[in-house]
Amino acid sequence: MERLSEELIIEILKRITRTSDLNSLSLVSKQLYAIDAEQRATICIGCGLSTEDFSALCSRFPNLLKVEIGNSGSTSGNGNHIDNQGLFVLSSSYNSLNDLTLSFCSRINDAGIASLTYCKKLMSLKLNSIPDVTSSGLLLVAFGCKALSSLYLNDCKGIAASTEWLEYLGSDGSLEELVVNNCPGISQYDFLKFGRGWMKLKKFEFVNKETMVNHFITRHDPSYSANCVYKYDLCCENLEDLRLARLRTEPEGPEIGLRFLLRKCKALAKLCLEYVGGLIDKDMIVLSQSCKNLKSISLWMMPRRFHEHEVFRMGFTDESLEMLAHNCALLQDIELIFAGVEDLEYPEIGFTQEGLVKLMHSCPIRSLTLNGTLFFNDNGMKGLSSAPFLETLCLVDCKITDYGMCFLVHYPCLADLKLQYCSGLTDVGIAELVHAQKLQSLVVEGCSNISENAVQGAARSVQYFLNSAGSGATHLKRLVD
């Protein structure tokens, strides 16, 4: 190895992607050890590293560009010893650092975050479960890190009250990605302070901390004042990826909150709306007319009482599906998830399988996921049998039987099938798939009337789980609990 040129060794190291392999290889010789340390650009540090050890690590790897600190399996108090001093060492050692992730670092607060202002080239910052970082710390980052283009905040309980950091980031207009998940101090109405920052933003996610308890009750913005009209004349025409989760606003009125985005995003390609209360057909009509580039849509829905004496019903109906079919010619991926319908007597689902089948034939849909769709049965399976582009089908808790499985063999392009919690299916229906030999992959999970022996040979790749406990998969409807 020592006869090889340094250029060739560098090329070899570039082709080794596993960190454990790089660590092992660097122990072969002093030359490899030195070259690996010089060339290493990314490193992931777990729990238990002291500030002294961290200093030594920074000395060994002088050219890091991406650093992840923390452990996704930890909790905020589970032994992560990186503190403000360690973060100061990192910031002062790597002025060229452009990507930093901090997870479950309970000993880091605003004083530590302030040291990130040394990283003038920092482009991406992810804070995951950092409870002591506040709005003041984020404001310092906004002031000092002018190159910041991606900000991810998850479960940061200390961020509250002041929105100056949002206002400053908006005035600077450099962010292209903004993700805020489960931060209880941040309201959907705070993002109206982001101002012209919306103009450059390409990806936005906001998941409200509020749980799904009392999900039928309409909530209002507690800071709303009749004398202060909200401004929704913000420009967000470059937004391509939008996810909103667990929000509640009124369909009409001055406090529509982040629902205003559905009217504005002309470049939108991917949309996910998870239990956003107050949405009605009118919103989907406006969206479909504006978003001609929409390729993926995910709707997580729950019945809601719109007026005091009405029955519980969904906000969307077949009219929404019809408008998507008419206006969104590029739509390829659909996910429809219904929750709470089994807890109510005769809820109005809103969608019908006729409306869904019409959409499938009007757009080049390649992937379809249906979860808890009580309206979808064997007739729906028959209707989809002539869908010309469908390649991937996922059915969760759907009312289909072995008779419906007979139609799957006629789907022209179907390659991947996932069946979860479909109690109406038995080995008889799976036998149709075994006989047809058309599928590339099959996943069967939680279908109590299907045996493991029956799925063998039904596809080139087969996975079978009697329940979700052993598979690591999640029954999507149970996310409501």
Q: What does the pLDDT average to over 21-41?
A: 74
Tracing tokens 């000395």 back to the chain, one arrives at 59
- Written as six digits, the tokens of 383 are 């209707």
Give the residue with greater pLDDT, 6 vs 295. 295
The pLDDT of residue 3 is: 73
Tokens of 80: 């992560």
* pLDDT for residue 470: 38
Average pLDDT over residues 66-78: 65
Taking the mean position of all CA atoms in its chain, how far away is CA 425? 31
Paired tokens of 467: 């329940």
Q: Which residues contact 126 (CB under 8 A, 6 or more apart)?
A: 100, 101, 102, 103, 152, 154
Q: How far is CA 175 from CA 68, 101, 201, in A?
A: 21, 17, 6
pLDDT at 427: 96
Q: How many CA atoms lie within 13 A of 7 on its CB side?
A: 0
Task: Check residue 145 and give its pLDDT.
Answer: 93
pLDDT digits (tens, 9 = 90+) for 306-351: 555 556 677 888 999 999 999 999 999 999 998 866 655 555 677 8
Contact of 126 with 205, CB cutoff 8 Å: no
424 or 173, higher pLDDT: 424
Average pLDDT over residues 46-55: 76
Of the candidates 385, 387, 386, 376, the one whose C-alpha atom is nearest the C-alpha of residue 350 is 376
Q: How far is CA 134 from the centre of its chain?
A: 24
The Cα 39–Cα 99 span in angstroms is 16
Helix (H) or strand (E) run with residue 270 in it: strand 270-274
pLDDT tens for residues 364-385? 999 999 998 878 899 999 999 9
Q: What is the pLDDT of residue 213?
A: 38
- Is the pLDDT at 210 greater than 90? The verdict is no
User: In a 3-state reduction of DSSP, which class is residue 439?
Assistant: strand
In which element (H, E) is residue 166 found? helix 164-172
Query: What amino acid occupies position 353?
Result: Q
- Predicted confidence (pLDDT) at residue 473 exceeds the cutoff of 90: no
Full DSSP string of 36-98: HHHH--EEEE-TT--HHHHHHHHHH-TT--EEEES-TT--TTSS---BHHHHHHHHHH-TT--
Degrees, nearest 5: CA angle 244-351-348: 95
The per-residue pLDDT for 51 is 75
What mean pLDDT value characterizes the chain? Answer: 84
Q: Which amino acid is at 390?
A: L
For residue 34, give every residue at least 6 positions away whose Cβ sits within 8 Å of its Cβ, in sequence order, or none: none
- Check residues 211 and 120 and name the one with the higher pLDDT: 120
CA atoms of 268 and 238, how far apart (whole Å): 8
Distance CA 467, CA 339 (A): 20
Q: What is the pTM of this model?
A: 0.85
pLDDT digits (tens, 9 = 90+) for 84-104: 998 999 999 998 999 999 999
Which of 115-129, 269-283, 336-350 has the lowest average pLDDT? 336-350
Q: Pick the residue with more confidence: 191 or 224?
A: 191
Over residues 411-423, the mean pLDDT reads 95
The per-residue pLDDT for range 232-275, each reduced to its tens digit, is: 788 899 999 999 999 887 666 667 788 889 888 999 999 999 99
Cα angle 318, 320, 322; round to 5: 70
At 97 the pLDDT is 94
Q: How many percent of the chain have pLDDT more than 90?
A: 53
DSSP state of 225: B
Confidence of residue 81 (pLDDT cuts 50, 70, 90): low
At residue 471 the predicted structure's pLDDT band, cuts being 50, 70 and 90, is very low
CA separation for the pair 53, 78 (Å, rounded): 18
In this prediction, residues 6-20 reach a mean pLDDT of 74
pLDDT band at 464 (very low <50, low <70, confident <90, very high): very high
CB burial of 23-40 (b: ≥16 within 10 Å; e: otherwise) equals eebbeeeeebeebbeeeb
pLDDT tens-digit map of 161-176:
789 999 999 998 789 9
Q: Report which secondary-structure segment, H or E, holds 300.
A: strand 296-301
